[in-house]
Structure 1
Amino acid sequence: MNRSPTQTIVFWSVAILCVVALSAPTLVVLGASFTAGNIIDFPPDGFSLKWYVAILGERDLQQAFLRSVIVACICVAVSVPAGTLAGIALSKYQVKWAGALQIYLLLPFTVPLIGSGIGLMLLFGELRLLGSLWPIGIATAVINLPFMIWAVSSSAASLDPDLELAAQSCGAGPLQTFFNVTLPAVTPGVITGALLMFILSLNEFLVSLLLVDARIVTLPVQIYNSIRAIITPDLAAVSVVFIAVAALAIIILDRIVGLEVFLKSK
């Protein structure tokens, strides 16, 4: 379909505006992290890598980053089996009350995040489990589980049911069929969901803020606590490292299964 010059101008103007709006925060933080001054400034006051060198010696930030990685790994370990089984079941089998179950699984998106966070804080508090990292990993898995389910469901929906029937006709039992046919077929969705859950958990702030204490702060909470006093360029450098880790995860996703699998899962 041919567009008029006016339509073309409007289209590209909106597209460029969206790209600028999405890129501006990252570009500002990136530029500020290279400043030679002692305060965050954009455009940066000169060019220096001293703030990246500085964060290498800040033990609190390093430990907070390590805790965030541990929380993300716990989240993946919990969400992969749960999300994989739920995604396959909802996509391929006639599950009773499937509609109600799908709505229930979307509750983390319909309930405000602050409400979910407070509820999880009260739950883990009653169980005397606060003060450890693994409840935070479970909490981030709970609130982000629909992403894992969608990723697996997308792969499961494209699986030819004749393959499973062929395996069963050759004498394979339910477990053999699952591990040798179904699971390999949905592996791209599992990898997509796992990487997405890792990124979301790594960056989770609000729920982490409600569940941590002073001994086990994650990196987003550590950054928040720091900027309440003064915003220094080392925090911008840490943010850039965080962005780089997320970008690396996306590159790995593209190399392993391709971004089209991720986009279809959305």
Structure 2
Amino acid sequence: MKGDRSKAVTLWTFVAIALVMLSAPTLVVLGASFTAGNMITFPPEGLSLKWYAEIAGATDLRDAFLRSLIVATICTAISIPTGTLAGIALAKYRVRFAAGVQVYLLLPFTVPLIGSGIGLMLIFGKWGLLGQLWPVGVACAVINLPFMIWAVTASAASLDPDLELAAANCGAPPLSTFLAVTVPAVTPGIITGALLMFILALNEFLVSLLLVDARIVTLPVQIYNSIRSIITPDLAAISVVFIAVAAIAIALLDWLVGLDIFLKSK
């Protein structure tokens, strides 16, 4: 009994340390965004909402945030059909070059993001597409697509094949079976992957830095350009807005499909 208690104390100690380390940067940024001073300090110099009013009236930050939303929307719109079909195919069928596909799914962990970004920059530059916003969304989809495929594959792997056979025996054509049986069954994975792709694209910095110019910077690039000169509390405030958007997406994910589905897909 004493040994079990010591193990529990040790485990929860490490959990507490991990939680503090993970949450400390967010808490610092959150506190700094409410400072009444003109510089980022923690603890804040008094409490004020003036920096949130500042970013509400800042045209450059607002436009950059809207561009990030557009990029995230394009990325998600591309990823849903592509990742859904690929995930279902990998889970249900014997796919040629399956080993190569599995290697591709590991690319986010094996290929440095700077390498992928430079490659995409060279491709889009050769095609004369640099300086436009939609290629950034396409690039985010290309780089992060494995996450969408993983989420759908996890749902498709648990699909009972007898359901599709029953639909076929009832005379449903393949397309109707796919739309009425397969897609609803993997919807939790689709929702999980779509929200994840949206969050990843919304926060993408390095690829955006390589593909945009000064006229169409996204919010992460706008923040980076600003902190190169001076770090002011309005940047902390816009960072909190980013965190809030991600938190809303996670809450929506939990409400729609449950976080357990998301964790299993990983």
TM-score (norm 2): 0.98
- Offset of 1:3 from its aligned partner? 4.3
**Counterpart residue type for residue 249 of structure 2:** A
In structure 2, list runs of 5 or more residues that go unmatched. none
Cα deviations by residue, 1:120-145 (Å, 9 ceiling, x for unpaired): 00000000001111100000011111
Q: Are the structure 2 counterparts of residues 23 and 92 from structure 1 closer, same or farther at C-alpha, using a change threshold of 3 Å?
A: same
**Counterpart residue type for residue 200 of structure 2:** L
In structure 1, the partner of 2:111 is: 111
Q: Are the structure 2 counterparts of residues 38 and 252 from structure 1 closer, same or farther at C-alpha, using a change threshold of 3 Å?
A: same
In 1, Cα distance between equivalents of 2:206 and 2:61: 18
Tell me, yes or no, if the aligned pair for 2:91 and 2:156 is still in contact at 8 Å: yes
In 2, Cα distance between equivalents of 1:115 and 1:78: 22
Pairing 1:205–2:180 present: no
In 2, Cα distance between equivalents of 1:14 and 1:218: 37
In 2, Cα distance between equivalents of 1:106 and 1:142: 13
In 1, Cα distance between equivalents of 2:178 and 2:4: 53
- Offset of 1:97 from its aligned partner? 2.4
- Please list, as runs of the form range in 1=range in 2, the aligned pairs for 1:130-149 lying within 5 A after superposition: 130-149=130-149
Greater CA drift, 93-102 or 13-22: 93-102
In structure 2, the partner of 1:195 is: 195
In 2, Cα distance between equivalents of 1:233 and 1:257: 36
**Counterpart residue type for residue 96 of structure 1:** R
Aligned-CA RMSD value: 1.1
In structure 2, the partner of 1:59 is: 59
- Aligned residue pairs, count: 266
- Offset of 1:91 from its aligned partner? 0.5
In 2, Cα distance between equivalents of 1:158 and 1:70: 33
- Offset of 1:257 from its aligned partner? 0.9
- Offset of 1:2 from its aligned partner? 7.6
Cα deviations by residue, 1:26-69 (Å, 9 ceiling, x for unpaired): 00000000000000000000010000011111000000000000
Pairing 1:157–2:157 present: yes
- Please list, as runs of the form range in 1=range in 2, the aligned pairs for 1:28-177 lying within 5 A after superposition: 28-177=28-177
Tell me, yes or no, if the aligned pair for 1:84 and 1:152 is still in contact at 8 Å: yes
Greater CA drift, 121-130 or 170-179: 170-179
In 1, Cα distance between equivalents of 2:218 and 2:144: 18
- Offset of 1:230 from its aligned partner? 0.3
- Offset of 1:163 from its aligned partner? 0.3
- Offset of 1:248 from its aligned partner? 0.3
Of all paired residues, the percent bearing the same amino acid is: 73
- Please list, as runs of the form range in 1=range in 2, the aligned pairs for 1:214-233 lying within 5 A after superposition: 214-233=214-233
Q: Are the structure 2 counterparts of residues 3 and 262 from structure 1 closer, same or farther at C-alpha, using a change threshold of 3 Å?
A: farther
In 2, Cα distance between equivalents of 1:97 and 1:60: 46
**Counterpart residue type for residue 157 of structure 1:** A
- Offset of 1:180 from its aligned partner? 0.7
Tell me, yes or no, if the aligned pair for 2:32 and 2:233 is still in contact at 8 Å: yes
In 2, Cα distance between equivalents of 1:211 and 1:35: 34
In 2, Cα distance between equivalents of 1:132 and 1:93: 38
In 2, Cα distance between equivalents of 1:25 and 1:4: 33
In 1, Cα distance between equivalents of 2:100 and 2:42: 50
**Counterpart residue type for residue 68 of structure 1:** S
Tell me, yes or no, if the aligned pair for 1:108 and 1:116 is still in contact at 8 Å: no
Cα deviations by residue, 1:199-244 (Å, 9 ceiling, x for unpaired): 0000000010000100000000000000000000000000000000
TM-score (norm 1): 0.98
- Offset of 1:98 from its aligned partner? 1.4
Cα deviations by residue, 1:156-185 (Å, 9 ceiling, x for unpaired): 011100000111111111111100100010
In structure 2, the partner of 1:259 is: 259
In 1, Cα distance between equivalents of 2:172 and 2:78: 28
In 1, Cα distance between equivalents of 2:108 and 2:20: 30
Q: Are the structure 2 counterparts of residues 49 and 126 from structure 1 closer, same or farther at C-alpha, using a change threshold of 3 Å?
A: same
The structure 1 segments of at least 4 consecutive aligned residues displaced by more than 4 Å after TM superposition are none
